[in-house]
């Protein structure tokens, strides 16, 4: 029986970002695997030293749009021919070490054609790599506690959860300052929820969805600290400061001074089960 503090929610939208820091691909249904949604941040752009590259230094990455098909990912960008990448093959015979934040992990180089495509568009010598699924990259146990949460090339956690009402509140405040509304894709979530008040995800403990295969249970463990990426326009790659200014006006975490939007989440149950748009769920609140 649901606790009286439980709250009814539903899935408004689902996203994966196949190439870290490139565009989002919206889904009607998404498979939960050990590292989050299947193919989320499975690929990453790195420099010659194997260090990860993001929109923070190359805003044009926002213009690279992925489309996932049955057997391939198709990448498109302004002025470029489409790049087709098979989902079930890698170019390199053995993995190479790459760096994402403070983690040194193994990845497969995706070959010279993809490297040339990304380098030509971004104006910098880079390569595309794919996460090696044979390894485990774990989220910070300071936040996950007894949960051993695996990630691929995500910044730190398998999922980012946000509510539609939170975006509506940001857009209301942007409008008050004379700025246009922004899409949720600026915040790069995986799961967008309906049924919550603005920023109510901050106080949630767990969310459970009853799928036909069984429950999917997520624990919300850490507010998502925000950098300048929400101020990169995904349609033009132009940068600004309007979104950051609005968030700083009311979304500063007093515990550490971080500006936050959305919650990072880990998987408690539900690997190999599928979430779908419109699926109802129950959210339980955290009592500190």
Q: How far apart are CA 55 and CA 186, in angstroms?
A: 11
- Where do the domains of the chain lie, and which CATH numbers do they carry? 7-285 (2.40.33.20)
In DSSP notation, the chain reads ---TT-EEEEEEEEEE-SBTTS--EEESEEEEETTEETTTT-EEEE-TTSBB--TTT-GGGGG-EEEE-SSEEEEE-TTS--EEEETT--S-SS-EEEEETTEEEEEEE--HHHHHHHHHHHTS--EEEEE-TTS-EEPPHHHHTT---EESSSSSSSEEEEEHHHHHHHHHHHHHTT-----GGGG--SEEEES--TTGGGGEEEEEEEETTEEEEEEEEEEEE--SGGGB-TTT--B-SHHHHHHHHH-B-TTT--BEEEEEEEEEE-TT-EEETT-EEEEEEP--
pLDDT, position 288: 54
pLDDT, position 4: 46
Q: What is the pLDDT along the chain (288 residues), one digit of tens a residue?
A: 344 468 999 999 999 999 999 999 999 999 999 999 999 999 999 999 999 999 999 999 999 999 999 999 999 999 999 999 999 988 888 999 999 999 999 999 999 999 999 999 999 999 999 999 999 999 999 999 999 999 999 999 999 999 999 999 999 999 999 999 999 999 999 999 999 999 999 999 999 999 999 999 999 999 999 999 999 999 999 999 999 999 999 999 998 999 999 999 999 999 999 999 999 999 999 865
pTM of the model: 0.96
pLDDT, position 287: 65
Look at residues 226, 51, 235 and name the one whose alpha carbon lies nearest to residue 127. 51
Q: How far apart are CA 29 and CA 276, in angstroms?
A: 4
Which phi and psi (to 5°) does residue 47 adopt?
-90, -170
């Amino acid at each position: 029986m649901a606790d009286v503090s439980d709250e009814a929610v539903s899935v408004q939208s689902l996203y994966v970002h196949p190439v870290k820091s490139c565009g989002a691909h919206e889904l009607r249904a998404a498979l939960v695997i050990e590292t989050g949604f299947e193919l989320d941040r499975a690929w990453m752009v790195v420099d010659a030293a194997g260090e990860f590259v993001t929109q923070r230094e190359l805003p044009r990455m926002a213009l690279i749009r992925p489309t996932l098909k049955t057997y391939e990912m198709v990448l498109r960008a302004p002025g470029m021919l489409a790049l087709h990448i098979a989902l079930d093959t890698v170019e390199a015979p053995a993995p190479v070490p790459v760096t994402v934040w403070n983690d040194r992990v193994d990845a497969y180089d995706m070959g010279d054609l993809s490297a040339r495509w990304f380098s030509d568009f971004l104006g910098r010598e880079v390569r595309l790599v794919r996460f090696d699924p044979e390894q485990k990259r774990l989220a910070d146990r300071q936040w996950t506690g007894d949960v051993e949460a695996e990630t691929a090339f995500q910044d730190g956690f398998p999922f980012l959860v946000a509510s539609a009402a939170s975006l509506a509140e940001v857009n209301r405040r942007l409008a008050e300052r004379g700025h246009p509304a922004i899409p949720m894709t600026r915040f790069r979530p995986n799961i967008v929820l309906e049924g919550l008040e603005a920023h109510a995800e901050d106080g949630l403990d767990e969310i459970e969805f009853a799928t036909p295969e069984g429950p999917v249970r997520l624990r919300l463990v850490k507010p998502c600290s925000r950098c300048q990426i929400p101020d990169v326009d995904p349609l033009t790659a132009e940068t600004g400061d309007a979104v950051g200014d609005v968030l700083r006006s009311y979304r500063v975490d007093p515990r550490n001074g971080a500006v936050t939007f959305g919650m990072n989440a880990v998987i408690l149950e539900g690997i190999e089960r599928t979430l779908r748009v419109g699926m109802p769920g129950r959210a339980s609140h955290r009592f500190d």
